[in-house]
Structure 1
Amino acid sequence: MPLNIVKLCVGVSEIDELESWVKDCKAGRDTLDHVTRMFPKRRDEILPGGSLYWVLRGMILCRQPIAALEPVTGADGIERCRIVFKPQIIPVRPVPRRAFQGWRYLEDSDSPPDLPRSSRIEGMPEKLRRELAELGLL
């Protein structure tokens, strides 16, 4: 079972916005990535098969499979981690998550399940899914 990462998606409030960002990034770059300050010490547990679970406005709403974790050096000379993603965004069962800085490990057993593609839940507006999750009905 792979280890996952959970991170706040700052400046994005809906999955549609994240999907739009991914589409824009794919158009102009070779890789889809996000650079973060700390490099995961448990890299071998994340790859292959781990995902980054995005927290949007206080809820884990989706995940992106991680393709690679690469060390990079910033313009300031500080070592960082480039998280390279696969382009798909997979909606998951909404789970409340408090704000935190950076990223955290997320064990596979604690990760919210993917929403089934054929379910009525996936077809619901995101706002409704969020409200149902807050009420404990989803």
Structure 2
Amino acid sequence: MLHLIKLSVGSKDVAGLQAWQAERAITHAPLRHRTRNRPKRREEILGGGSIYWVIGGFIQARQRIVDLMEDTMEDGTPCTGIVLDPVLVPVAARATKAFQGWRYLEPDAAPPDLADHSMAPGIEALPPHLRAALREARLI
């Protein structure tokens, strides 16, 4: 199994990514992320891999990768469509530096799902900027 990691350009939070994807799933089914560079390690990725989304400088969510398909960009340029399960799974946020494109992410380097982590009650009620500051300070 192998994962991918990708910046969610334009998303301010997980809810924003989710809203954008919900609209995109209706207008451009199946739900997918288009990329110019085809992942060469296809079988490893399709063996249970996910795409981990970086939002606001933190890995914050993941989605299971369902398939890798030949696709085309809006301008007709050939590309690869990374077909995604529509469920966004929150993960324990981890700071990461910006990068271009996507990268491979080994399973042992992937942050755990929040469902597997105990969180202090009410932490999600804090304003996003405060949660981000606490994560950056490694307090949550």
State the TM-score, normalized to the length of structure 1: 0.87
Which position in structure 2 is the counterpart of 1:34?
Answer: 33
Deviating runs (4+, > 6 A) in structure 1? none
- The structure-2 alpha-carbon separation of the partners of 1:100 and 1:79, relative to structure 1 and needing over 3 Å to count, comes to same
8 Å CA contact 1:48, 1:67 repeated in 2: no
Determine the structure 2 residue equivalent to 1:135. 137
| CA deviation vs aligned residue, 1:39-58 (integer Å, no higher than 9, x gap) | 01111111131111011121
Which position in structure 2 is the counterpart of 1:123? 124
- The structure-2 alpha-carbon separation of the partners of 1:122 and 1:50, relative to structure 1 and needing over 3 Å to count, comes to farther
2:85 is the counterpart of 1:86: yes
Unaligned runs of 5+ in 1: none
SS at match of 2:139: coil
Q: Structure 1's 106 and 22: CA in aligned 2 closer, same or farther, altered over 3 A?
A: same
Matched, 1:65 2:67: no
3-state SS, counterpart of residue 116 of structure 1 = helix
Cα RMSD (Å): 2.2
Deviates more, 1:122-131 or 1:56-65: 122-131
Can you give the 5+ residue segments of structure 2 that lack an aligned partner in the other structure? none
TM-score, normalized by length of structure 2?
Answer: 0.86
How much has 1:27 moved relative to structure 2? 3.1
Report the CA distance between 1:136 and its aligned residue.
1.0
| Worse-superposed segment, 100-109 or 67-76 | 67-76
Matched residue SS, 1:64: strand
Deviation at 1:25, TM superposition (A): 2.1
2:2, 2:47 within 8 Å by CA — same for their partners in 1? no
How many residue pairs get matched?
137
Contact 1:4 1:50 in 2 (8 A): yes
Tell me the alpha carbon deviations over residues 93-113 of structure 1, each in whole angstroms, 9 at most, x when there is no partner. Answer: 111111111110000100001
2:95 and 2:122 mapped to 1: Cα distance? Answer: 17
Kept in 1, the 8 Å contact 2:34–2:73? The answer is: no
Q: Which amino acid aligns with 1:127?
A: H
Deviates more, 1:45-54 or 1:127-136: 127-136
TM-superposed CA distance for 1:5, in Å, is 0.2
Q: CA 1:34–1:122 in structure 2 vs 1: closer, same or farther (change >3 Å)?
A: farther
